[in-house]
Amino acid sequence: MRDADDCIVTGDSAALLREAVTPVIATCVAGRGLTLSEEKTHIVHSEEGCDLRGQHSRTYHGTRLIHPAKNGVKKLLDTLRGIRTRHPMAQPATVIRQMTPVLRGGGNSHRHVCRKETCAAGDFQRKRAVWHWAKRRHPNTSKIWVKARDWPGRGGKHGVFTGQEAQGQTIHLRKAAATPLQRHVTGQGHANPSDPAYAAYCEARLAQQWATGSSGHATITGLWPRHAGKCPSCGHPITPESRWHVHHKIPRVEGGPHTLAN
């Protein structure tokens, strides 16, 4: 683990964590010039739960579930409301362009956890905030007119906030639940990218991360034009249906860099 300042340590009892584990952690971080914060260090039962990096982990009747933390959801909704407040008379397309990265980032952050109820509640709050913004923008018109203008529907679905850009392109405000749920797959802890025995495994895992992660999308869009949309090995077109495999010109096990040029 690199650049980590938060962690969770489990144990059989609170006494074990307090008397045996906490001193070991304090000694470990002290050797690196750090100090274990007493204010942020808490010992709680798993049924009470705890927050870590925007997620709330808690045991329900013997089953551990992870949900988006309430504080993180509140900050996301406050960000959306702030965008609405800063653009009281802007065009709908401007508001959509400002809110979409926030919603996409929140969805990607919580795509591995149980979030169905949280997304439903968040989408309701988002829709209500945008509706109040639209009503204030057109105070002398009816609700039916505002709905027909800014919520015309999309693909048979009603209640989709829509805007028109200057170029005539129609854009829609995404929902928090638009990001599909992706179960987290634990990697093999002993796998080493520099070990030839795990080269194929690491490349397959990297390809999967590119296919599902937002950071991989930027890498794929950078590589795809370089190869004219075709596989440099067999010449067949590369499409989302055909998928792709990640290979390095100079293998990483031989010291090749992990860059677009390689």
At residue 3, the pLDDT reads 47
Q: Judge whether 258 and 248 are in contact, CB under 8 Å.
A: yes
Entry pTM = 0.70
At residue 4, the pLDDT reads 56
Contacts of 22 (CB under 8 A, 6+ apart): 36, 41
Distance of CA 261 to the CA centre of its chain: 27
At residue 79, the pLDDT reads 94
At residue 135, the pLDDT reads 92
At residue 181, the pLDDT reads 82
Return per-residue pLDDT of the chain as tens, 262 residues. 344 577 888 888 889 988 888 888 888 888 888 888 888 888 989 888 888 888 898 998 888 889 999 999 999 999 999 999 999 999 999 999 999 999 988 888 888 888 888 988 988 999 999 999 999 999 999 999 999 888 887 766 777 898 888 888 888 998 888 888 877 777 777 777 777 788 778 777 777 777 666 566 667 777 777 777 777 766 777 776 766 667 777 777 777 777 777 7
**What is the distance between the alpha carbons of residues 84 and 133, in angstroms, rounded to a whole number?**
7
Contacts of 203 (CB under 8 A, 6+ apart): 245, 246, 247, 248
Backbone angles phi, psi at 222, to 5 degrees: -80, -35
Distance of CA 41 to the CA centre of its chain: 26
